[in-house]
Copies of this chain bind each other. A is one copy, B any other.
Amino acid sequence: MWPCAMDTPLEKALATLVCTFHKYSGREGDKLTLSKRELKELVKNELGLGERLDGGIEQLMKSLDKNSDQEIDFKEYSVFLSTLCMAYNEFFQESRK
């Protein structure tokens, strides 16, 4: 299933990012993209920030859906995670000051 043994914490983390996408993308419609409902479920269940999403899922969907096909493909999802990672990194660095 994976290109290598995926033993290290970083590899397991990357595998989790991939599996979480497919856990939701497979629920309805195109199995390889997230519909608005699937994205909402993912954010609500998998991200503590979900409730505090200002502007809600509409805004998030609009900002992620670069090709405006009303679906989030894996590339658009990985950009979302990168942005989240940057935010977590800022919290991490602030907390160490």
Interface code A1-35, partner B: CB below 8 Å = 1, 0 otherwise?
Answer: 11111111111111111111110000000001000
Stoichiometry, copies per complex: 2
Question: Is A63 positioned at the interface, with any CB of B under 8 Å from its CB?
Answer: no
Q: How large is the interface on A (under 10, 10 to 19, 20 to 34, 35 or more residues)?
A: 35 or more
Majority secondary structure, A binding face: helix
Asked whether B8 lies within 8 Å of A46 as measured between CB atoms, the reply is yes
Asked whether B1 lies within 8 Å of A91 as measured between CB atoms, the reply is yes
A78 to B92, CA, bound (A): 15
Asked whether B92 lies within 8 Å of A18 as measured between CB atoms, the reply is yes
Chain A positions near chain B (C-beta within 8 angstroms)? 1-22, 32, 45-49, 74-75, 78-79, 81-82, 84-89, 91-93, 95
